[in-house]
Amino acid sequence: MISYIKGTLEYIGDDFIIIEAQNIGYEIKISISAMQNLPSIGESVKMHTYLYVREDAMLLYGFLTRDDLEVFKKLITVNGIGPKGALGVLSTITPDELRFAVIADDVKTISKAPGIGKKTAQKLILELKDKLKLKDYMDNVSSEVDNSQVTLSSTVKNDAIAALVALGYTSTEAVKAVRTVNITETTTVEEIIKGALGKLANF
């Protein structure tokens, strides 16, 4: 099993890249969101990979973070969602946004992904409800802030997200907007909501 590939980014295609590592060129399929965060051609890149084997092909799928890879592996366990569908989901929403969409039964957000209709989105939510935990999102949030600010930051973020949902936004939209706000030790819930509303107006 290939856990990850680190090498030089040699080529960027429509839905794949080629990385050269030790004189071998690896063709790796990636999501649109990953495509948008690649370095320039000729620079070093590390991709966490998943080897998908079927009767007529062996395909490598790549992800910039291990969290993306783990969520991808959970997505392809859902009946009716193959690797292509899973990449489509991750091209549309982030792993954290997916966790909130699943927890909040947000069919609308998930069904925005290409090839994912309402029924498939409902099935995804049902099958991943116990696999995609809110704790994983909170762990990611915690890793982004200073240890002394973890509890405070997590609390005000959650309060702001809850308030935005109460205003009619989906959980996914609320999470996405709140994550764009610069939060410090003294930032209040009201300030986060104000900043998030400004971003939501431009989404």
User: Using 50, 70 and 90 to split pLDDT, how confident is the model at 65?
Assistant: very high
Q: In the 8-state DSSP scheme, what is residue 139?
A: H
Domain at 35, CATH number: 2.40.50.140
CATH code at position 162: 1.10.8.10
Residue 35 has pLDDT above 90, yes or no: yes
Residue 165 tokens read as: 């949902």
Domain count, the chain: 3
Residue 49 DSSP one-character state: E
Q: What is the extent of the structural domain holding 190?
A: 144-203
What is the predicted pLDDT for the residue at 147?
A: 44
Which long-range contacts link 39-43 to residues 24+ away (Cβ below 8 Å)?
A: 39/9, 40/9, 41/9, 41/10, 41/11, 41/12, 42/8, 42/9, 42/10, 43/8, 43/9
195 and 184 housed in the same domain:
yes
Q: Which of 34-48, 132-146, 184-198 has the lowest mean pLDDT?
A: 132-146
If one compares 81 and 162, the residue with the highest pLDDT of the two is 81
Q: Answer yes or no: do 59 and 75 share one domain.
A: no
The answer as to whether 139 is a domain residue is: no
